[in-house]
Amino acid sequence: MRLSSKTTTLLVLAALIALAPLFFPSSYYFRVGSLIFVNGLAVTGLVVLTGYAGQISLGHAGFVGIGAYACALAPVHLGLNPLAAAVVGAALSGGLAWLVGRPILRLKGYYLAVASLGFGALVSMVLANEAQVTGGPDGMTVPDPGLRALLKSAGLDLSNSAFWYAFSGGILVIGAWLALNLYHSPTGRALRALHGSEVAARTVGVDVARFKLQAFVISAVYASLSGSLLALQNKFITPDVAGYMHSIELVTMTVLGGAGSVIGAVSGAMILTTLPQVLTVFQEYEQVMLGLVMMLVMIFMRDGLLPSLSRRIRGRGE
């Protein structure tokens, strides 16, 4: 039996996550790994928005910030478990995306880019300025959800970094599975249709506004959960997560690997998350390298790294 590309993608992803630790010389690698998964989750959401539906957002770090701060604030003010707080944050992000998405998504191209950028900037400004609630630029601590302790009492004792590696890896696989299912669903087809041509999609009866909004809400929920995961594993959070640069990083990761496919975008997240870790040796040159990578890939491999490479490997004759 031939495996569908969806199953293959998921199997490859799960196998990589499960087998990579065999080659980890130190717990530091678990830490980088979980960072990759956290970014990969946000980027998977952007695949739905950008890769499927063809819409740009330069403000998604705003949703990451909401998810992150939900995990810090809800336990203090509402007495929720941090995991429940993550769900509240996701609901909040989804609701907010639904509210701002309606007017914003009427805009196209650069206009949509600047509107979403404005939204992200507003969120990060509120997080940085409302110091009495959010701790301001100093950030705030995030309580532990107690999952590790629960596992320990069940007889499974994982180190902190190994636990978060496995946990965020698991969430990423679930997130990828949902996004891949969406791709082949009627909604996914509608999104791809409006990506091709909005006018043509409307002519064949696709409710363009509704589907764009759905993609925006879905991607906001992914971003929010990614922020929550980051907050939980770092146990500390600053407004930087919601900043403009983080939005740019997320979009870059998405298109770097290939916005059209989940696995491509996740590999983009992997490259851009590991690059700064490798480059700390040449900290001075980090920005230069990042800028160069962004430019070179976009100039010479327009569809992203993975699709371009696989095309080159598969079909020389094309």
Going by C-alpha positions, the residue among 46, 51, 41 that lies closest to residue 195 is 51
Minimum distance from residue 64 beta carbon to other proteins (Å):
18
If one asks whether residue 133 binds other proteins (CB under 8 A), the answer comes out as no
If one asks whether residue 110 binds other proteins (CB under 8 A), the answer comes out as yes
- Which of 3, 15, 99, 106 lies at the binding interface for other proteins (CB under 8 A)? 106
Minimum distance from residue 235 beta carbon to other proteins (Å):
28
Sign of the C-alpha dihedral computed for residues 124, 128, 132 and 134 taken in this order: positive
- Which of 16, 133, 147, 248 lies at the binding interface for other proteins (CB under 8 A)? 248
If one asks whether residue 111 binds other proteins (CB under 8 A), the answer comes out as yes
If one asks whether residue 205 binds other proteins (CB under 8 A), the answer comes out as no
Going by C-alpha positions, the residue among 4, 17, 309, 2 that lies closest to residue 175 is 17
- Which of 286, 307, 309, 310 lies at the binding interface for other proteins (CB under 8 A)? 286
Residue for token pair 């997080």: 127
Give Rg (Cα) of the chain.
19
Minimum distance from residue 22 beta carbon to other proteins (Å):
35
Nearer to other proteins by Cβ, of 20 and 125: the residue is 125
Nearer to other proteins by Cβ, of 14 and 289: the residue is 289
Residue for token pair 């979009």: 251
Continuous segment of H or E residues that includes residue 269: helix 262-279
Minimum distance from residue 214 beta carbon to other proteins (Å):
20
Number of chain positions touching other proteins (CB under 8 A): 49
If one asks whether residue 291 binds other proteins (CB under 8 A), the answer comes out as yes
Minimum distance from residue 263 beta carbon to other proteins (Å):
19
* Contacting residues for 104 by C-beta, under 8 A, at least 6 apart: 112, 115, 116, 119, 216
Q: What gap in Å lies between CA 278 and CA 289, rounded to an integer?
A: 11
- Which of 41, 58, 166, 206 lies at the binding interface for other proteins (CB under 8 A)? 58
Q: What gap in Å lies between CA 307 and CA 301, rounded to an integer?
A: 9
Helix (H, G, I), strand (E, B) or coil at 312: helix
Q: How far is CA 62 from the centre of its chain?
A: 12
If one asks whether residue 127 binds other proteins (CB under 8 A), the answer comes out as no
Q: What gap in Å lies between CA 121 and CA 63, rounded to an integer?
A: 11
| Beta bridge partners of residue 237, listed in sequence order | 140
Q: What gap in Å lies between CA 226 and CA 64, rounded to an integer?
A: 6
Tell me, residue by residue from 18 to 57, as one string, x for binding to other proteins by CB under 8 A and - for no binding: --------------------------------x-----x-
Q: Which positions touch other proteins (CB under 8 A)?
A: 50, 56, 58, 103-104, 106-107, 109-111, 113-115, 117-119, 121-122, 125-126, 129, 197-200, 203, 244, 248, 251-252, 255-256, 259, 284-295, 298-300, 302
